[in-house]
Chain A
Amino acid sequence: MTRPGTIAAGLSGAVLTGCQGAQSAFDPAGVEAERVLTLFWIMLAGGTAIWIVVIGVSYYAARGKSGPYSDRSGIRLIVWGGCVFPAVVLAGLLWWGLTMMPELRRAADGPTIAVSAERFWWRVAYAVEGEPGVIRNLPRGGVPSANEIWIPLGKRTEILLSSPDVIHSFWVPPLAGKMDAIPGRVNRLVLEPTRPGVFNGACAEYCGTAHTYMGFRVVVVPEAEFEAYVASQALPAATTDGSGARLFVQNGCAACHTVRGTAADGDVGPDLTHVASRRTIAAGLLPTTVENFAAFIRSAEHIKPGVEMPAFGILPEEEITAIAQWLGKLE
């Protein structure tokens, strides 16, 4: 391949890989993301056309005609090109964008899931009570989980968003636009996925040191599978005895974490009852493996700087291993 050819191939490869995948707004899998993408293409085409005209006019002004213009033609250019044209184009875009919104904010016909954005992870609760409408605080109860949100395909799922600490923002680029999670307020986002898959979400509002590592996954599955998943998440932990479970309670993990079926009922960190059934730990950061559990317990701060969980490197290595192995069984 020639050198320019290689560069072009490399560039288009880089551009294309950036446009696909689980976290790309260019690869939509939801109704709102599709609309946003259409809007983007139209804005891009319009912007390009205007840019070409402006560059053409400047070229003409610099290289073309040299004599002065009459006041009249100058004013005409300003009135039509500078006032009427932008006013009409902006009014059209504004109207189009506005009329899109009621449709996207339409009532949900699927489940209601409460998502609390907390420094630096996502507390999730399925099948919460206390709807319809939106309230000041997230509804209590429901089936607890964290950092992974399952939603049924083809249904409009209502995500209720809030936060106990600072403002975060919930963004799953392939599914929908972002929505802030604001303390003392519940915001509502409706997700309507159009194809199954696993998508990446991120916190899109700087919230502190570990903000970059505040991710999550959204898993889109057929409705029956969704129901079965929520039912399984509602069950108590798979194994509640053995040394791992005992050490978990003894070493103070229980003060912050709940494992339903054991004495651990802390409410500071993620519910770990089914932690091994989730794809990732530490909010989308590490794949769920026994080694990663152990590494995270040994020094959470090292893996996720700024994390709100203390390091437990003082524990004997066997105890860390025992806890990690037990957590690995909590499917």
Chain B
Amino acid sequence: MQVFGKTQDNLWTLVAAPTIWGFHFLFSYFLAAYRCAPNDDIFNTIGGTRAAIAGVTAVCLLLILLIARRAWREWRADGGGYSNNQDTPEARERFLEFSTLLLAALSFAAVVFETLPVLVFWDCR
């Protein structure tokens, strides 16, 4: 739906980036736990697991960037204000766009943090 010549934000667009973050967390955590669960071969390398996490990370980061780009553009298109204290559709829209942008930035940093162990651990120790 188009409002003010842009897509309309709602709660779903707001939580999209954190949802990707949540997915990334569970995916990495479960995959590593599943791979290392037998716990009898801890010195063996787990290259496949690391590559899978790296691949999923790249996709997640790209999606978050797209969400951030959309929010940024639409927020800037309106002049990018921060004060949203009026009870108007414009203020609501601006508030959602800016919040989406911030949440996307947070999710991006979080996904990067979650992926750092992949660079450091090469086995199940």
Contact = CB atoms under 8 A, between A and B. Distances in A.
A186 B43 CA distance: 14
B34 interface: no
B125 A136 contact: no
Given A75-B82, A91-B113, A188-B125, A101 B120 contact: yes
A95 B116 CA distance: 7
Contacts of A71: 82-83
B82 A132 contact: no
A242 interface: no
Contact of B40 (A91, A101, A135): A135
* Interface hub of B41, B82, B112, B120 (most chain A Cβ within 10 A): B120
A34 to B, nearest CB: 20
A102 B42 CA distance: 12
Contacts of B7: none
Interface string B27-40: 00000000000111
Interface in A56-101: 71, 75, 83, 87, 90-91, 94-95, 98-99, 101
Interface string A212-223: 000000000000
B113 A133 contact: no
Interface residues of B, number: 18
Contacts of B122: 102
Interface in B68-115: 82-83, 105, 109, 112-113
A133 B43 CA distance: 7
Given A98-B117, A102-B120, A135 B125 contact: no
Contacts, number: 44
B23 interface: no
Interface in B48-63: none
A188 B116 contact: no
A135 B39 contact: yes
A173 to B, nearest CB: 22
Contacts of B39: 134-136, 185-186
A95 B109 CA distance: 14
Contacts of A185: 39
Given A71-B82, A75-B82, A87-B109, A98 B43 contact: no
Contacts of A134: 39-40, 42
Contact of B120 (A99, A136, A188): A99
Nearest to B109: A87
Nearest to A106: B125
Contacts of B113: 90-91, 94
A133 B41 CA distance: 5
A107 interface: yes
A88 to B, nearest CB: 10
A105 interface: yes
Interface of A: 71, 75, 83, 87, 90-91, 94-95, 98-99, 101-102, 105, 107, 132-136, 185-186, 188
16 contacts: A91-B113, A91-B116, A94-B113, A98-B117, A98-B120, A98-B121, A101-B120, A102-B122, A107-B43, A132-B43, A133-B42, A133-B43, A134-B42, A135-B40, A136-B38, A136-B39
Q: Which 9 A-B pairs have the closest CB atoms?
A: A105-B125, A98-B120, A135-B40, A87-B109, A134-B42, A133-B40, A134-B39, A133-B41, A99-B120
Interface of B: 38-43, 82-83, 105, 109, 112-113, 116-117, 120-122, 125
